[in-house]
Structure 1
Amino acid sequence: MKIITVLVLDGVFDSSLSITLDTLHAAQAILAARGGAPQLQVRTIAAKTYTTTGAGLRLKADLRIKTVKQEVSDWIIVPGLGYRSDQELSACFARSDTMQAMHWLAAAGAGTAKIAASCSSAFLLAQAGLLNGRKATTAWWLAQAFRARYPAVILDEARILVRDGPCLTAGAALSQLDLMLAIVSDVAGESVAHLCSRYLLIDQRSSQARYMMRDHLEHEDQTVIAAERWIDAHLAQPMTVTALSSELALSPKTLARRIKAATGVSPIKFIQGRRLSQATHLLETTALSIDTVAAQVGYQDSTALRKLIKREFGVTPSTLR
């Protein structure tokens, strides 16, 4: 028997919680249809008797944190929270129920339980100290806030799923689908996970990079903002880091340091990301040929752009249309 515990906090993203429970119940049904003894026990746990979801619904959990003497879960899952900014997360962390939940998670992390979280709930795992020195992902628009708070965590916001040791993290809220299939595969086998994905019409994805909107990445470095504006205004032209730093009256080394601190990437990757973002926008919103799009974002032929899209997004340009 595998025990899966779902931690529910005030402000939980409703669809993330529903995806968690629905996927687990689908797995239970598939296993039951195959006969034999029940193989999965699913239970919810909370700090309070009733928690309120992000949409205002009230939920009574199966267990209270303070009544659980010893953690025996195989997996603990923290569905995404409906908080969209670092300020909202700070307010969440200051609540007594959240602090109680983090202490419980930290204690569980010292045991044998595997722990999973998606979207802004990855902040909760990091705040509890569970991700120090580990690789992780989170909602792409919160990446800079995450890096600023938790420099000891190796963040890769382009990936939808990152597993490092006992911790599994997922990207933006609906990547909970991908997270749950990974957990079902772990506790019930790949065949059950595959059937769940077919019954629930879940398409597995390897990256959230193609869904990122570069203008919504949170940072406040005015130099980097100026760099973004200059790059966007000159996408079709040849561009070097030296030319960009000259425009901003900085040395290449200083510019590289500022860009790395604000975005987590090198200046070359930064320029490439702006070009790729605009190319994706044009492919999704216009009927321009791939050759025309490539020229408009600074590539002499479409081959390089095709390879870049395939490498970063795992799809062909035609898939984006």
Structure 2
Amino acid sequence: MQIVVLALGGLFDTGFAATLEAFSTANSLSAALLGGATLFEVTVVGMRRTVRSGQGLSIPVRPVTPELKPDWVIVPALKTVTPDTLLPALARPDVRDAVMQLREWQAGGARVAAACIGTFVLAEAGLLDGREVTSTWSLAPLFRQRYPKVMLDETRMLVPSDIGVTAGSAMGHLDLALWLIRQASPELAMLVSRYLLADIRSSQAAYIIPNHLAQADPLIARFERWARGHLQRGFSLQEAAGALATSPRSLQRKCQAVLGRSPLGYFQDLRVERAQSLVRAGDLSLDAIAAEVGYEDGATLRTLLRARLGRGVREIRADLL
């Protein structure tokens, strides 16, 4: 499998390195333990002769040449964590050149992959329009605003599509690399994950901070404050809209545009976040925690936590061990 890793200036060092290490480990294990040939031919390509990482390290890159025909192109994340730093980065000449090159490669049959902020580069190229994707949860509101034709679900860690695959925040690079290795050999992917002490995670939901997402819009920030004060009560869209001096329809639309979910869905996110915090504290029974966040009993809450977070009460408490 011919893989091109597209190195852009100011990339996220850890994600870039984790991607390369995963494929290097896969090739070593394939040869040493499985008696197989090298499965992944990885080439690091740059849009400029000189490429420096976000930490200022020089990255050896090859130029783009006509004979380079990748099976997969991976776009690591840029080291930007806020809209104020991301938007100027997306406007850089080397990124615009990368967008054009990605379109050319994809039109030529290459599949494309990206993690975290790298997904914004794929979206800039228009390659994600009309497709389900994931991205870094922390910039999900900006992603929705900038790319309304893309179907974003930031709760998922990996989302395959007909043109490739997208992965979630930061260390999602490793999940992405393991997913690609698994397409070649599930047995090899399992070996790599054990050697690197890394498992493919199905969800980002447990890591999302609802308060962070709410700050992207003044109305949503006010809704969040109101909701946190009403977690023990049943949710009423009419009551919430009235308290915020807006209409139910306007609140519904704003939540969908900024958060990608309904007001009730976000209200439930806050309940889950609060319940998860109380479970970790370990001071209350599950029934008492359920009452604190407006559910009838612990069994209902247990089911909700498993559905939303992909793990149960024992796993949540084990996080602290």
TM-score range, shorter chain: over 0.9
Partner of 1:118: 115
Asked if 2 retains the 8 angstrom alpha-carbon contact of 1:79 and 1:176, the reply is yes
Q: Deviations over 1:99-120 (max 9, x none)?
A: 1111111111112111110001
Asked if 2 retains the 8 angstrom alpha-carbon contact of 1:137 and 1:170, the reply is yes
d(CA) in 2 for partners of 1:96, 1:16: 22
**Number of matched pairs:** 316
Q: How do residues 1-321 of structure 1 correspond to structure 2 at under 5 angstroms?
A: 2-33=1-32, 34-35=34-35, 37-61=37-61, 63-65=62-64, 68-186=65-183, 188-217=184-213, 219-321=215-317
Unaligned 5+ segments in structure 2 are: none
d(CA) in 2 for partners of 1:32, 1:176: 24
d(CA) in 1 for partners of 2:133, 2:234: 35
d(CA) in 2 for partners of 1:37, 1:259: 51
Cα RMSD (Å): 1.5
d(CA) in 1 for partners of 2:282, 2:52: 42
d(CA) in 2 for partners of 1:50, 1:161: 31
Q: Deviations over 1:254-297 (max 9, x none)?
A: 22112212211112112111111111222234533222221111
Shift of 1:80: 1.9
Shift of 1:43: 1.0
d(CA) in 2 for partners of 1:123, 1:259: 21
Asked if 2 retains the 8 angstrom alpha-carbon contact of 1:115 and 1:167, the reply is yes
d(CA) in 2 for partners of 1:291, 1:246: 31
Unaligned 5+ segments in structure 1 are: none
d(CA) in 2 for partners of 1:218, 1:233: 15
Asked if 1 retains the 8 angstrom alpha-carbon contact of 2:11 and 2:79, the reply is yes
d(CA) in 1 for partners of 2:133, 2:299: 32
d(CA) in 2 for partners of 1:203, 1:29: 19
d(CA) in 1 for partners of 2:219, 2:2: 50
d(CA) in 2 for partners of 1:194, 1:184: 9
Shift of 1:217: 1.3
Shift of 1:87: 2.3
What amino acid maps onto 1:59 in structure 2? I
Q: Aligned with 2:246: secondary structure? A: coil
d(CA) in 2 for partners of 1:105, 1:137: 18
d(CA) in 1 for partners of 2:116, 2:37: 34
What amino acid maps onto 2:24 in structure 1? H
TM-score by length of 2: 0.94
Shift of 1:202: 0.8
Shift of 1:85: 1.5
d(CA) in 2 for partners of 1:97, 1:221: 31
Q: Aligned with 2:203: secondary structure? A: coil
What amino acid maps onto 2:41 in structure 1? Q
Q: Deviations over 1:136-160 (max 9, x none)?
A: 1101010000000000000000000
Asked if 1 retains the 8 angstrom alpha-carbon contact of 2:7 and 2:46, the reply is yes
Asked if 2 retains the 8 angstrom alpha-carbon contact of 1:147 and 1:153, the reply is yes
What amino acid maps onto 2:131 in structure 1? R
Shift of 1:70: 4.1
d(CA) in 2 for partners of 1:73, 1:284: 46
